[in-house]
């Protein structure tokens, strides 16, 4: 139906392009239009004395951000974007745009994030914003490619569930006929059950729902998790999978998204595996030296602690050997010192990206640990049953897609990495 704008070159001769009117500059005898599609921008010049009556009429009537279709001769011109311009012979207004616009796509006046999210379809017309989602799409594709090359099965676990993964308070109850049900906060229990099913290596890229009370710049109520579980593997094996994946995701973006990175003004170094490993005990020592708050062994890492440790490390890293008391019941304690466990967090200097562990695969130990956390094994019977019928040792992790994109691109707010973010105050659009 048309030539993508980036394929129109000074040598093209003739072309028909279709897209949105990005800018209009009327100089009296001459009107310059910038026409934009997903691939780029082209200048269209209407010379009053030379254009046909039909072209002049359309050029006069058209408003910014209308969809137009224009055909004509292409000639080289130094000052225009892409070194070429189009002289229209036909100029059709395909779909007019009302004015004023709820949001300025050319962004002469920067809008605040809420205004942008309210008119997200317009916001995403900005090449700089579209670039984020071009990159996110490449990261998703790289993730599927990485796992399918390594023989992982892609699974889809249910998002409507009867029980919490960790008995937490972060659940959204939903109206599900006459039963009590919730939106799932993690595929954790289901990917573990697939280890009992003999799938051995699984991954899922899917939504997780967290009823996080607070509005922060790194929490969403609906996020996307990249989840992995591997049989006959320990925590060290899956940490290697994780760092290799992150390297591959960055390398793919560097290789295939140079235009989008340029639109965003982002440059990065591809993180190199292996990432440094630091025990939890050393991590809190670093934090204790750098910040004023008192920190005790056994505390969860506060945001300032995470920041302080990240500053010191300066690159992606793992925190390992966590106190068992602050990790979920399914984390495997060390045989020689059960007060610590084979759990890890993978960190970007700015924040946590992933949590994982070797899991408890022994039924009796798992029941004991569930009870020790004050939870009732009865409500986990669907999960516990597979552990009585041949469960291999296994390990895995979950990584937040939005945090990965946010840290890769230096975004200030996690909402910028989601097309239609869901937070405490936003369920529309
Ligand atoms: P945090 O302590 O930073 O809130 P968490 O430890 O509660 O995270 P996990 O349950 O370990 O999160 O989930 C694994 C990963 O999923 C996290 O490291 C993060 O990347 C992502 N994630 C979890 N909750 C959210 C959320 N509410 N919004 C965005 N990403 C999330
Ligand atoms: Mg975590």
Tens digits of residue pLDDT in 106-115: 978 789 999 9
Asked if 321 contacts 330 with a C-beta cutoff of 8 angstroms, the reply is no
Residue-range definition of the domain harbouring residue 26: 5-95
361 and 247 within one domain: yes
Ligand 1 atom 30: residue of nearest CA: 400
Decide: 398 in ligand 1 pocket, CB within 6 A.
Answer: yes
Query: 252 CA distance to ligand 1 centroid (A)?
Result: 24
**Measured from the CA of 221, which atom of ligand 1 is nearest?**
27
Q: What is the pLDDT of residues 156-186, one digit of tens each?
A: 999 999 977 776 678 999 999 999 999 999 9
pLDDT at position 28, please? 93
Hey, is 169 helix, strand or coil? coil
Of all atoms in ligand 1, which is nearest to the CA of residue 352?
Answer: 18
Whether residue 150 sits in one domain with residue 89:
no
CA angle (242, 244, 248) in 5-degree steps: 115
Please state, in angstroms and rounded to a whole number, the distance separating the CA atoms of residues 250 and 388. Answer: 41
Residue 374: pLDDT band with limits 50, 70, 90: very high
The arithmetic mean of pLDDT across residues 45-57, rounded, is 97
**Residue 409 domain-assigned?**
yes
* The predicted structure's pLDDT at residue 238: 99
Residues 48 and 145 placed together within one structural domain of the fold? no
Which residue owns the Cα nearest ligand 1 atom 31? 400
Q: Are residues 252 and 390 in the same domain?
A: yes
**CATH number where 31 lies:** 2.40.50.140
Say how many domains are in the chain: 2
Average pLDDT of the segment spanning 219-231: 98
- Whether 227 is in the pocket of ligand 1, judged by its Cβ within 6 Å, is no
Q: Among 60, 76, 95, give the residue marking a domain's end.
A: 95
- Examine residue 301 and state whether it is found in any structural domain, yes or no: no
Determine the residue of 224, 301, 403 to mutate for testing ligand 1's pocket, defined as the one with the most ligand atoms within 8 A of the Cβ atom. 403
For the entire predicted model, the pTM comes to: 0.96
Same domain, 206 and 88: no
Per the domain annotation, does 178 fall within a domain? yes
Residues 341 and 250 in one domain: yes
- Would residue 105 count as lying in a domain? no
Using a 6 Å cutoff on CB, does residue 223 contact ligand 1?
yes
Residue 193 sits in the same domain as residue 244: yes
Q: What is the pLDDT of residue 167?
A: 67
Q: Are residues 19 and 158 in the same domain?
A: no
Task: Establish whether residue 166 lines the binding site of ligand 1, counting it when its CB lies within 6 angstroms of any ligand atom.
Answer: no
Percent of the chain with pLDDT over 90: 94
Q: How far is CA 86 from the centre of its chain?
A: 37
Question: How far is the C-alpha of 279 from the C-alpha of 396, rounded, in Å?
Answer: 19
Q: Which of 95, 110, 141 is the last residue of a domain?
A: 95
Cβ of residue 403 lying under 6 Å from some atom of ligand 1: yes
24 and 127 part of one domain? no
Q: Mean pLDDT of all residues in the chain?
A: 96
Distance 1 CA to ligand 2 centre (A): 49
> Given the CA of residue 354, which atom of ligand 1 is nearest to it?
18
Let me know if residue 203 belongs to a domain. Answer: yes
In a domain, 285, yes or no: no
Q: CATH number, domain at 237?
A: 3.30.930.10
Ligand 2 center from residue 88 Cα (angstroms)? 57
Q: Does 287 map to a domain?
A: no
Judgement on whether residues 257 and 168 belong to the same structural domain of the protein? yes
Of the candidates 77, 95, 113, which is a domain's last residue? 95
The count of C-alpha atoms lying within 13 angstroms of the C-alpha of 72, restricted to the half-sphere facing its C-beta, is 23
Examine the domain organization and report whether 213 and 354 are in the same domain.
yes
Alpha-carbon distance values, 53 to 2, 29, 281 (Å): 23, 14, 78
Looking at the structure, tell me whether residues 72 and 149 fall in a common domain.
no
Residue 425 maps to a domain: no
Top mutation candidate among 238, 303, 397, 400 for ligand 1, by most atoms within 8 Å of CB: 400
């Amino acid at each position: 139906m048309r030539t993508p704008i980036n394929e129109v070159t000074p040598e093209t001769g003739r072309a028909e392009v279709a897209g949105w009117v990005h800018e209009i500059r009327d100089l009296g005898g001459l009107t310059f239009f910038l026409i934009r599609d997903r691939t780029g921008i082209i200048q269209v010049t209407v010379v009053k004395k030379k254009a046909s009556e039909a072209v002049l009429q359309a050029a006069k009537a058209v408003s910014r951000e209308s969809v137009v279709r224009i055909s004509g001769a292409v000639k080289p011109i130094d000052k225009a974007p892409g070194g070429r311009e189009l002289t229209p012979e036909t100029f059709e207004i395909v779909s007019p745009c009302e004015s004023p616009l709820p949001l300025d796509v050319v962004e002469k006046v920067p809008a605040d994030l809420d205004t942008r999210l309210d008119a997200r379809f317009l916001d995403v017309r900005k090449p700089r914003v579209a670039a984020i989602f071009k990159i996110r799409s490449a990261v998703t594709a790289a993730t599927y490619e990485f796992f399918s090359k390594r023989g992982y099965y892609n699974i889809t676990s249910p998002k409507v569930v009867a029980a919490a993964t960790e008995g937490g308070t972060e659940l959204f109850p939903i109206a599900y006929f006459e039963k009590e049900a919730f939106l799932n906060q993690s595929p954790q229990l289901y990917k573990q059950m697939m280890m009992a099913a003999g799938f051995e290596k699984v991954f899922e890229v899917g939504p997780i729902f967290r009823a996080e009370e607070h509005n922060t710049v790194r929490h969403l109520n609906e996020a996307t998790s990249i989840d992995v579980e591997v049989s006959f593997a320990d925590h060290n094996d899956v940490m290697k999978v994780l760092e290799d994946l992150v390297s591959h995701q960055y390398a793919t973006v560097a290789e295939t998204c140079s235009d989008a990175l340029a639109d965003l003004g982002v440059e990065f170094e591809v993180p190199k595996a292996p990432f440094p490993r630091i025990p939890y005990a050393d991590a809190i020592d670093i934090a204790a030296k750098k910040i004023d708050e008192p920190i005790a062994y056994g505390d969860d890492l506060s945001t300032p602690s995470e920041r302080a440790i990240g500053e010191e490390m300066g690159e992606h890293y793992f925190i390992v050997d966590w106190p068992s008391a602050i990790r979920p019941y399914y984390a495997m304690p060390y045989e020689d010192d059960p007060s610590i466990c084979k759990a890890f967090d993978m960190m970007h200097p700015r924040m946590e990206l992933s949590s994982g562990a070797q899991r408890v695969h022994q039924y009796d130990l798992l029941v004991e640990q569930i009870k020790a956390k004050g939870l009732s094994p009865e409500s986990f019977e669907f999960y516990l049953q597979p552990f009585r019928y041949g469960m291999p040792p296994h390990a895995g992790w979950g990584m937040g897609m939005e945090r990965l994109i946010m840290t890769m691109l230096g975004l200030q707010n996690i909402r910028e990495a989601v097309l239609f973010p869901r937070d405490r105050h936003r369920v529309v659009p």
